[in-house]
Amino acid sequence: MKNRLKQLRKQKNLSQKDVAELLSITNQAICLFEKGERTLKQENLQKLADFFEVSVPYLKGELSYGDLTPEEQNLNDRLVSQIINDVNDEIKYSELSSKENKRAIKLALQSALEYYA
């Protein structure tokens, strides 16, 4: 099972050591968890979820769009639409090439969707 710890950790510019210290566990435990080779205790999962402001199922990689309630899907869809509109507004004034803009948009949307899923 692929979890999202590495992605969340990198978004906050944290090292594995930083996360290990937060939980009072070893760097190796964090490394193994990120690789999916070890599970963390529920209390540590909750600490991480609280720290990164996500749910435990999201952190563990268990939550997908299909798992969301209709209200959550609606919110997700509205967020995606708003992001697209904001990106399109920025492109109007961008000095980047079309190819660079497309790549930047793709990366921004992937990041946003993964974070808010």
Q: What is the pLDDT of residue 44?
A: 94
Candidates 83, 90, 85; CA nearest to 115 is 83
Share of the chain above pLDDT 70, in %: 89
DSSP 8-class letter at 31: H
Helix (H, G, I), strand (E, B) or coil at 53: coil
Q: What is the pLDDT of residue 1?
A: 47
Q: What is the pLDDT averaged over residues 75-92?
A: 76
Helix (H, G, I), strand (E, B) or coil at 44: helix
The mean pLDDT value of the chain amounts to 82
More confident residue, 84 or 60: 60
Query: 30 near 38, Cβ under 8 Å?
Result: no
Distance of alpha carbon 108 from alpha carbon 67, whole angstroms: 23
Q: What is the pLDDT averaged over residues 57-79?
A: 78
How far does CA 9 lie from the centroid of its chain?
A: 9
Candidates 52, 9, 12, 56; CA nearest to 34 is 9
Q: What is the pLDDT averaged over residues 71-92?
A: 77
Candidates 46, 43, 51, 117; CA nearest to 80 is 117
Residue 114 has pLDDT above 70, yes or no: no
What does the pLDDT look like over 19-59, one tens digit per residue? Answer: 999 999 999 999 999 998 999 999 999 999 889 888 888 88
Name all domains of the chain by residue range, CATH numbers in brackets.
5-59 (1.10.260.40), 65-116 (no CATH)
